[in-house]
Amino acid sequence: MSPESAPSPVTMDKLVSLCARRGFVFPSGDIYGGINGFWDYGPLGVELKNNLKALWWQRMVRERDDVVGIDSAIITHPRTWDASGHTDNFSDPMVDCRACKKRFRADQLDDAGSCDSREGSSEHDLTLPRNFNLMLQTRIGASEDAAAVAHLRPETCQPIFTDFKRVREVARQKIPFGIAQIGKAFRNEITPRNFTFRSREFEQAELEFFVHPSERDKWFAHWLAERNRFHEELGFARESLRNRPHADDELAHYARSAEDVEYLFPFDWQEIEGIHDRGDWDLSRHTEYSGKELSYTDPDTKESYTPMCIETSMGVDRTCLALLCNAYEEEALDEGEVRTVMRFVPEIAPIKVAVLPLSKKLAEPARELERRLRRYWNVSYDESGNIGRRYRRQDEVGTPFCLTWDFESGDDGCVTLRDRDSMEQERVPTDELVERLRERLEPTR
C-alpha cells in the first residue's frame, strides 16, 4: 500500500473523540458528568506531556550554564499577589444574562450563542460589565478569619521573582542569568472552552531571564529566536505557526515589548506561548512590598541596578493540544482504505516502539525483546488481532516504529522494522536494533 492523497484537515470533534477513545485527554470527574475547565491526561497523554516538559527542561535548563531550575509551592505568601498586581488587576470583564443566567466574558460575546429563556427574543438580556478576579481562592488551616485566605498561583513566574535573590546566590550566578520552572497554574476562567485550550487548571513552562538594562533588546531577540527554534523542533508545520507582536495598546503598562507564538488551531490562530520584556516591574514591586532589596551589584564594575526581565511563558497544555492537532492526519490508502496516523516527531511520541509477535505462540521471545528495549524507551507490546490492525492501532497513537517477531526471527535473528510514516518495512538483526532505533529516535541538534 502506498500513501496517495493529501491529508484531511483535523476537526476538534475528531480530535476530542480520538483523545478520549485512546486515552490522551478526557474530562476530569467524567463519571459524574465532568467539571468545566478541568481535564485528566490518560496513559498516552501523560507520556506526551512529560516528553514535552522533558525536552523543554533539557533545552532551557540542562543545556545552558546560565539557567537554573526551581519547583516552587502552588500556594505562596498572599502579599506576592498584591505586589504583582494580581489582587487588583487580574480580572476579566464579565456580563450575566438576566434571563438564562449564563455568564460570559464581555470581550467574547461573539461566542455567547442565543438565549433560550426569553419569550419573543433569542438575544441575551445582558447586565453591564463587571470585573471578575480570575484567581482561585482557598483557605489555609482551620481558621475562618480573612487572614487564612490564600490563592492558587495564577502563573508560575511570581515565585521565581520572590526567590530571585536566594537562587542567584546559591547557584553562584551573575547577570545575565535565568530561572526556569514548570508547574501548575490556576485561573477561574469565566468561559473555559476549546477543549484544553482555555482551562481552569493548566501547566506553564516559564523562564525569567535577568539582564542588564542596556541589554534587554538583545536578549529579547535571543529568546524569541530560541523559542521559535524549539517549536520548529517539535515538528510544527511552518505555515501553522507565527509570531504576533503585541500592539502598543495591548502591552501591559510595565512591558516594553511582547510577542506571542501562535498556532493555527482548527478554531483560529491562538497563542501557545508569550515572550515578554517585563522590565524591572516584578523585582521592583517585590522590593517595595517585602522591604527586601532585590537589586544586583555587578562584582566587576560595582554598578548596582535592578535587573530587567525577559520572560518566555509556554502553556504546556496548549502546546500539547497544538501538537495533537498538528500530528493528526487521515491518510487515504489504496482501495478506499483510510488510516488515522498521528505524526508526532519521535522525541515527543508517547510510545517509541511497539513489539508485535506475529502469533501468540511467539510471545516468549517477543516479550524478551520488549523487556530489553524497555530499558531505553517507552515500549508497548500487543499480540491481539491481525498484524494490519495492530499497525493501525499504533499509527493512531503515533508510535514511530513497530517490530514484528515472526516465525523466521528465531532462526535468522532478525525482526521486521516498520516505519509509521512511510509504512516501509525492513529486516533488522536484533543485535543491531538498539543502535538502529537510537539513530532514528533520539534528538539531533
Smallest distance, Å, CB 156 to ligand ATP?
Answer: 9
Smallest distance, Å, CB 319 to ligand ATP?
Answer: 7
Closest residue by beta carbon to ligand ATP: 315
Smallest distance, Å, CB 157 to ligand ATP?
Answer: 9
Question: Are the C-beta atoms of 361 and 46 separated by less than 8 Å?
Answer: no
Closest alpha carbon to 9 in 330, 399, 281: 330
Q: Does 313 bind ligand ATP (CB under 6 A)?
A: yes
Q: Does 271 bind ligand ATP (CB under 6 A)?
A: yes
CB neighbour class for 43 (10 Å; exposed up to 12, middle 13-18, buried from 19): middle
Closer residue to ligand ATP (CB): 98 or 184: 184
Smallest distance, Å, CB 153 to ligand ATP?
Answer: 12
Closer residue to ligand ATP (CB): 47 or 317: 317
Q: Does 156 bind ligand ATP (CB under 6 A)?
A: no
Interface of this chain with ligand ATP, residues 316 to 345, rule: CB under 6 A:
317-318
SS3 148: helix
SS3 391: helix
* Binding span for ligand ATP by CB under 6 A among 73-81, 293-301, 310-318, 390-398: 310-318
**Dist CA 91 CA 85 (whole Å):** 10
CB contact set of 226 (below 8 Å; sequence gap of 6+)? 59, 312
* Binding span for ligand ATP by CB under 6 A among 79-87, 309-317, 365-373, 412-420: 309-317
Closer residue to ligand ATP (CB): 83 or 433: 83
Binding mask 16-55 for ligand ATP (x = CB under 6 A): ----------------------------------------
Q: Does 259 bind ligand ATP (CB under 6 A)?
A: no
Q: Does 315 bind ligand ATP (CB under 6 A)?
A: yes
Closer residue to ligand ATP (CB): 275 or 437: 275
Strand 91-96 with 201-211, pairing:
unpaired
Give the interface size with ligand ATP as a residue count (CB under 6 A). Answer: 15
CB contact set of 260 (below 8 Å; sequence gap of 6+)? 243, 244, 246, 271, 273, 274, 275
Which position among 27, 274, 307, 350 is part of the footprint of ligand ATP (CB under 6 A)? 274
Q: How far is CA 408 from CA 296, 405, 418, in A?
A: 68, 8, 16
Per the structure block, which three cell numbers stand in for 110?
A: 461573539
CB contact set of 117 (below 8 Å; sequence gap of 6+)? 97, 99, 100, 101
* Binding span for ligand ATP by CB under 6 A among 99-107, 225-233, 313-321, 368-376: 313-321
Tracing cell 516465525 back to the chain, one arrives at 407
**Dist CA 111 CA 293 (whole Å):** 46
Question: Are the C-beta atoms of 211 and 176 separated by less than 8 Å?
Answer: yes
Smallest distance, Å, CB 443 to ligand ATP?
Answer: 23
SS3 307: coil
Closer residue to ligand ATP (CB): 265 or 296: 265
* Binding span for ligand ATP by CB under 6 A among 103-111, 291-299, 315-323, 435-443: 315-323
Question: Are the C-beta atoms of 398 and 344 separated by less than 8 Å?
Answer: yes
Per the structure block, which three cell numbers stand in for 151?
A: 490563592
Binding mask 188-227 for ligand ATP (x = CB under 6 A): -x--------xx--x-x-----------------------
Closest alpha carbon to 401 in 374, 424, 376, 367: 424
Smallest distance, Å, CB 205 to ligand ATP?
Answer: 9
Closer residue to ligand ATP (CB): 273 or 395: 273
Tracing cell 529579547 back to the chain, one arrives at 220
Per the structure block, which three cell numbers stand in for 320?
A: 500539547
Smallest distance, Å, CB 369 to ligand ATP?
Answer: 40
Return residues touching ligand ATP (CB under 6 A). Answer: 155, 187, 189, 198-199, 202, 204, 271-274, 313, 315, 317-318
